[in-house]
A = this chain, B = another copy of it.
Amino acid sequence: MFHHQVLREFTVKVFVAMGCSTADAELAATILIDADLKGIDSHGIARLKGYVRLWEQDRILTKPEITVVHETPSTAVLDGGSGLGLVVAPKAMEIAIEKARNAGTGWVSVRNSNHYGIAGYHAMMALEHDMIGISMTNASPLVAPTFSAERLLGTNPIAVAIPALEQPPFVADFATTTVANGKLEVMKRRAAPIPEGWAQDQNGQPSTKATSIEEGGALLPLGGSRTLGSHKGYCLGSIVDIFSGVFSGANYGPWVPPFVSFLEPPSDPVGKGIGHFLGAIRVDAFRPAQEFKSHMDQWINRFRGSKTIEGESEVLIPGDPERASKAIREQEGIPLLKAVVEDLTSIAQKFKLDPLTTIK
């Protein structure tokens, strides 16, 4: 177990050693460790190795020039200057929030960026302003559209954060596939088969092998099969791709430069870097904020209090599992897999940093 502050300080030092400003390093570290606290282990400090690798390949610049290339009262396009998505996306969200203040809503599409961590972090930035936050990004092409044997889309997540009054906020944050790639990795380590509907093999046939992706197979869009609506997950992933990539002038579809180490960037890019799409909606652009938030309380209470299926303890509100994990891990620490600790030890050596200390 590792204390979250220890992990955060270590991560700050690594980003500073890579050349980030202290402010950027602190922001990036905060977002990564927030994922670990929330139990989204696949998007936390385990990814640090990947950011270092892309920096070594000059695919991430730590002193990026971030510029607004186009704007209207409610929109903007941001060029992330090949920076860390962890730094570029919050900047885009700040612009969206500022636009929303004046125009009611603000929408920023981002090109020339990199992996931005958990989608939900950026969406939640809007909450303190009594705004709804929306965040999406395209990602490494690992997903096959319905009927396709090729990998053309990323797990392209969508996050939507909505404020309430007395209740904690509604925070949805999900990949538009049946599962994120991280879940296959967990099953692989357990040497367990995966449920049908998670992946297909290299010929597009249903697969229960946790190693399907590395062997040329693909993750499946939410729905998992045509019968259960995989074409809808394909639509969702496509919309995220188009809003993030085609709006901004980033790469899209199979051209998205991959974060995963077993894939190389395509040699014929159609845009710059990867793309994000961030939005902010002032609640009182529609209805007085108190009134809206008190109806959100009623919505949340009604759903949480509904009759459960036998054996289930409660109907969850989006955001509940992450809040529960955070409450525990802030106290008890964050567990890291042996492989992740080894990666971090090797990163410490690379940058001549002190090794991590565990909680006694």
Contact = CB atoms under 8 A, between A and B. Distances in A.
B246 A315 contact: no
Interface in A299-332: 299, 302-303, 306-310, 312, 314-316, 318
Contacts of A175: 232
A149 interface: yes
Interface in A135-158: 145-150, 152
A170 B299 contact: no
Nearest to A177: B229
A254 B308 CA distance: 15
Interface string A118-129: 000000000000
How many protomers of this protein does the assembly include?
2
Given A75-B105, A285-B75, A310-B203, A292 B246 contact: yes
B315 A148 contact: yes
Given A286-B70, A286-B248, A316 B228 contact: no
B303 A152 contact: yes
Contacts of A307: 148-150
Interface string A221-245: 0111001110111111011011000
A248 B115 CA distance: 35
Contact of A309 (B204, B287, B296): B204
Contacts of A232: 174-176, 222
Looking at chain A, what size class is its interface with the partner chain?
A: 35 or more
A271 B294 CA distance: 13
A72 B176 CA distance: 32
Nearest to A282: B72
Nearest to A173: B235
Given A147-B309, A222-B223, A253-B303, A318 B235 contact: yes
A207 interface: no
Contacts of A253: 299, 302-303
Interface in A70-104: 70, 72-75, 77, 102-104
Contacts of A179: 229
A160 interface: yes
Contacts of A231: 174, 316, 318
Given A224-B228, A229-B178, A302-B253, A172 B238 contact: yes
A295 interface: yes
Contacts of A177: 229
Contacts of A62: none
